[in-house]
Amino acid sequence: MSEIYIETAPHHPIDVFGLEEEKLNRVRRFFPQLNIVLRGDLIKAAGDAGHLADFEKKIKLLLFHFERFNRLSENDIDDIMGEAENPTASACEPPLPAGSPLILMGVNGKPIRALTPNQHKLVTAVQKNDMVFAIGPAGSGKTYTAVALAVKALKEKEVKRIILTRPAVEAGENLGFLPGDMKEKLDPYMQPLYDALRDMIPYRKLLTLLEESTIEIAPLAFMRGRTLDHAFVILDEAQNTTESQMKMFLTRMGKNAKFVITGDVTQVDLPFRQNSGLLQAQKILRDIPEISFVELTGKDVVRHRLVARIIEAYACRPSAQNDKEKC
């Protein structure tokens, strides 16, 4: 008889497996041949070496799923343990090993790290280059990873400020008709950026940094005429910039600045006949060695497991020009 030990750290066993090991009990049903015991943050399994190898592989997939989604449902366990015919993205081999490079520790000690190979490519690209384009579907972690890198750079005093900007396309960047002061007008468009920051900076500290303009969140129109020195600058939803807006933004780059441009070229919300500045930038700037392009895909999606399936279904739908399915 053989034995193996698997750590649940950095996650607390109760967070992963629930009170009274209810979710671990569900796992045990798939491996009746093994004696599985939870002691502290260690899972001990004893039994035949072949069954142990399969158990180790699948329990690491469960832990990886929890790392990505911060949840583990009974359906998730059944999908991963039972190797269903149509497994979710989380039921694939983990693309990065446990303990992949930490970007920073977030609020309440939450470890924030790249969770997929393409997210890791984004981290590496930002370390090497001052201008990086991260292009991929909703939920692939491009904005969240970029914000984490910006917070890290600020904490380590590599930059003096963070500037986060988006084109307010829904209001045509003409925000005057909305009620409230300027902050109240802008907040609905900037909410995803606030959400990311709240994961990484304690709330009171974040308010102070915003009040001091150490962290600035502003619509793209407010970037015109500025030179952005000593700053980590993120342009989010860049697919909704016009060609002239993109050129304007890229030429704001000052001394000791990092620029990360994120966008999803499948979700362009510009008015009819306006070309996306992101699509144009892809064509014009790809051959400049100091500018990096990182492509993310549905496999990088770290939201609910259904999001990856939805993205795949939309990608496979027939286009207006072609009635045949693409997949």
For 199, list phi and psi in degrees, rounded to 5: -75, -20
Indicate the residue type of 306.
Answer: L
C-alpha angle 209/140/74, rounded to 5°?
105
Q: Which helix (H) or strand (E) holds 259?
A: strand 258-263
Q: Is 257 helix (H, G, I), strand (E, B) or coil?
A: coil
Q: Is 102 helix (H, G, I), strand (E, B) or coil?
A: strand
CA atoms within 13 A on the CB side of 182: 5
Decide if 294 is inside a domain. Answer: yes
Q: How far apart are CA 89 and CA 65, in angstroms?
A: 9
Q: Which helix (H) or strand (E) holds 246?
A: helix 243-250
- Angle at which helix 203-211 crosses helix 182-200, to 10 degrees, equals 140
If asked whether residues 160 and 271 sit together in one domain, one would say yes
Record the pTM: 0.67
What's the CATH code of the domain at 33?
Answer: 3.30.1370.10
Positive or negative, the CA dihedral 260, 106, 136, 59 is positive
What's the CATH code of the domain at 288?
Answer: 3.40.50.300
If asked whether residues 162 and 223 sit together in one domain, one would say yes
If asked whether residues 73 and 128 sit together in one domain, one would say no
Decide if 55 is inside a domain. Answer: yes
Last residue of a domain, one of 91, 116, 139: 91
Q: Contact at 8 Å (CB) between 39 and 89?
A: no
Which structural domain range is residue 259 located in?
A: 102-315
If asked whether residues 157 and 295 sit together in one domain, one would say yes
Domain count of the fold of the chain: 2
Specify the pairing of strand 131-135 against strand 291-295: parallel
Decide if 321 is inside a domain. Answer: no
Select from 37, 106, 122 the least CA-distant residue to 114.
122
pLDDT by residue for the chain (327 residues), tens digit each?
A: 789 999 888 888 888 888 889 999 999 999 999 999 998 889 999 998 888 988 998 898 888 878 777 778 887 788 788 654 333 444 444 444 444 567 988 887 777 888 888 999 999 999 999 999 999 998 888 999 999 999 999 999 999 999 999 887 554 445 555 556 656 666 676 788 888 999 899 999 999 999 999 999 888 988 999 999 999 999 999 999 999 999 999 999 999 999 999 999 988 888 877 899 999 999 999 999 999 999 998 888 766 667 667 777 877 776 555 555 566
Q: Contact at 8 Å (CB) between 103 and 148?
A: yes
Select from 60, 280, 72 the least CA-distant residue to 45.
60
